[in-house]
Amino acid sequence: MSTTAFPTIDTPVGDVAGPGWNRQRHSQMPWNRYVDIYDRVEVLLDQRDWPRARITAAPLWVPVDLRDGNQALAEPMDPDRKRRFFELLIAMGYKEIEVGYPSASQTDFDFVRLLAATDIAPPDVTIVVFTPARRDLIERTVESVRGIRNEVVIHMYAATAPMWRNVVLGKDRAQLRDLILDGGRDVLEFAGDLPGIRFEFSPEVFNLTEPDYVLELCDAMTELWQAGPARPVILNLPATVEVATPNVYADQIEYMHRNLTRRDSVILSVHPHNDRGTGIACAELAVLAGAQRVEGCVFGNGERTGNVDIATLALNLFAQGVDPMIDFSDIDEIARTVAHCTRMPIHERHPYVGDLVHTAFSGTHQDAIKKGLAEHRARAADTGRPEREIDWRVPYLPIDPTDIGRTYDAVIRVNSQSGKGGIAYLLLTEYGLDLPRRLQIDFARHVQTHTDVTGAEITAAELFDLFETTYCDSAGSVELKDWHTGGQGADAVTELTVVVAGRTVTSVHRGIGPVDALTRALAGIDRPVEVLSLTQHSIGSTAVSYLEYRRGGEAGWACGRSDSVLAASMAAVMRAVNAP
């Protein structure tokens, strides 16, 4: 294959004339110290298939939290936390788990021995142990797995990129090839006769290694280890330090996928890191390019900016209708366990698992979500099927929070950016208050004033208290001391006793309803209130009335609650007359 030049996007923004373009000065940062990655990476593809591919099934997920993630912790896990993390991974359904670097520490060695001495690893779970290509460390690694009844993968690695060869290892290509093959022979010598052993090779910093050289090494290892369809070798191709846009990694993976000599006897694996913040994209494009296995950490822990985040990858598939093959149905418990074991918090905006990822503060977002949830419920009612069986199509929520163990309680939260829809949604879902639209608009102004002053989010409980204070407190200079009703229509009689400024006034009203009677009684003591609209509903055994009124030429809203609709409406009128 011939070398393909990468297309360039090199139009200087500052030199483009036309609407929307602004001339920009150069950054004062020393950007010219760094070499363009396209001058360091060669990809031998004339055409590529991955842009047209689709992911229709989950790859094999391999969490490396107990090895790669653990070595990146300021305080590595002690045996109890490591065991708890391992048991979490088992409960989630992982079938292959990298459990440690047994030649690097006694803690890791002892944990692998624990797996040999107990049955905490179910028989269908493959155990992976990690070792450099060095004879004494390989021997120590094999000693750690003796007696394990599960299938075991011995994962051997060596750095292969030019900088690592020249600066770190001090070897040329031929010398490094010999070192790697010697390591492969040592693996065979110490572990070749053990039952249930398979092999994995990682050319570390694969993404900065010459394609022809890494292909040569991988083919040599599959030949040495006699890879076959019944006993495939795992070839793991790490983006150890992320240095290029994800399409470059995809090209590199597709090149290997097409050109490996024993492709039907290889499980092609990837191990992206996240230095450029695109580890997720690298992994997804790599799977499109032919990768069958992905190594990473549950929530992306790892050196520097971390390993690729398996939870995000798996739930991305879930969100497009593909079975992720891992159970995230109680994501909060998973997050609590991971945070406990790593002693690292999970960011509030972390995809899927963060505390705020299913939360909307923006008024327009809240309105769209509220309408989307209502439409979802309506579609379920129309079909007579449970809501969880109905296709999920709700604005701003890529998945139903209940599918990962969340509730709708925190979907909408209120701050100074929120609108009437979100406010109304919280009052309805938390307290059953179904506000008329004009009341939603009116209350939103009060909430906006409150949050502008405090500068903080307002909780549902605080929102309810503000609503009570604004619309429901009927205490004031006028008191409805007593009232009685009887009869209907033209025979209706309402007797009222009102106290105003210490003076008691009793009146009798015939042929009208109690609310009209009360407004006439109030007008008679020079406290007129005009009822513009009255809306009622029930919350369990409690009746709620929303009253739109005009007093002194200005419109306002009042709310009353009682054990009957009539009493609630009378309370709303009293709030209206006493409102400040």
| Residue 476 CB-density burial (10 A; 0-12 exposed, 13-18 middle, 19+ buried) | middle
Average pLDDT over residues 545-552: 94
In DSSP terms, which residues pair with 293 in a beta bridge? 60, 269
Helix (H) or strand (E) holding 506: strand 503-510
pLDDT of residue 355: 83
**In sequence order, what DSSP letters do the residues of 91-149 get, joined into one string?**
HHT-SEEEEE-TTT-HHHHHHHHHHHHSS-S-TTPEEEEEEES-HHHHHHHHHHHTT--
- Res 107 pLDDT > 90: yes
Q: Does residue 1 carry a pLDDT above 50?
A: no
Q: Which of 210-219, 306-315, 457-466 comes out lowest in average pLDDT?
A: 457-466
- Name the least confident of 248-262, 281-295, 388-402, 410-424: 410-424
Tokens of residue 520, six digits: 């006439």
Sign of the Cα torsion 291, 295, 300, 304 reads negative
The pLDDT value recorded for residue 45 is: 82
Q: Read off the pLDDT band of 5 (50, 70, 90).
A: low
pLDDT one-digit tens code per residue, 55-68? 999 999 999 999 99
**Mean pLDDT value across the chain:** 91
**Would the pLDDT of 507 be above 90?**
yes
pLDDT over 90 percentage in the chain: 75
Cite the DSSP H helix spans in 228-309. 246-259, 279-288
Tell the residue number behind the tokens 């069986």, with chain if given: 389
Look at residue 6 and tell me whether its pLDDT is greater than 70.
no
- pLDDT for residue 250: 97
Q: Which residue has the higher pLDDT, 27 or 256?
A: 256
The Cα 421–Cα 423 span in angstroms is: 5
Q: How far apart are CA 7 and CA 19, in angstroms?
A: 26
Instruction: Report whether pLDDT(252) > 90.
Output: yes
pLDDT mean over 261-268 = 97
H or E element at residue 557: strand 554-562
Q: What is the arithmetic mean of pLDDT over 492-500?
A: 93
Q: How confident is the model at residue 7 (pLDDT cuts 50, 70, 90)?
A: low
Please check the confidence at residue 12 and state whether its pLDDT lies above 60: no
Q: What is the mean pLDDT of residues 451-477?
A: 87
Cβ neighbours of residue 29 closer than 8 Å, sequence gap 6 or more: none
Q: What are the tokens at 291?
A: 């990768």
CA neighbor of 511 nearest in space, from 499, 503, 502, 520: 520
So what's the pLDDT on residue 2? Answer: 41
Residue 413 pLDDT greater than 60, yes or no: no
Q: Is the pTM of this model over 0.85?
A: no
Give residue 419's pLDDT band: very low, low, confident or very high (50, 70, 90). low
Per-residue pLDDT tens over the stretch 136-183: 999 999 999 999 999 999 999 999 999 999 999 999 999 999 999 999
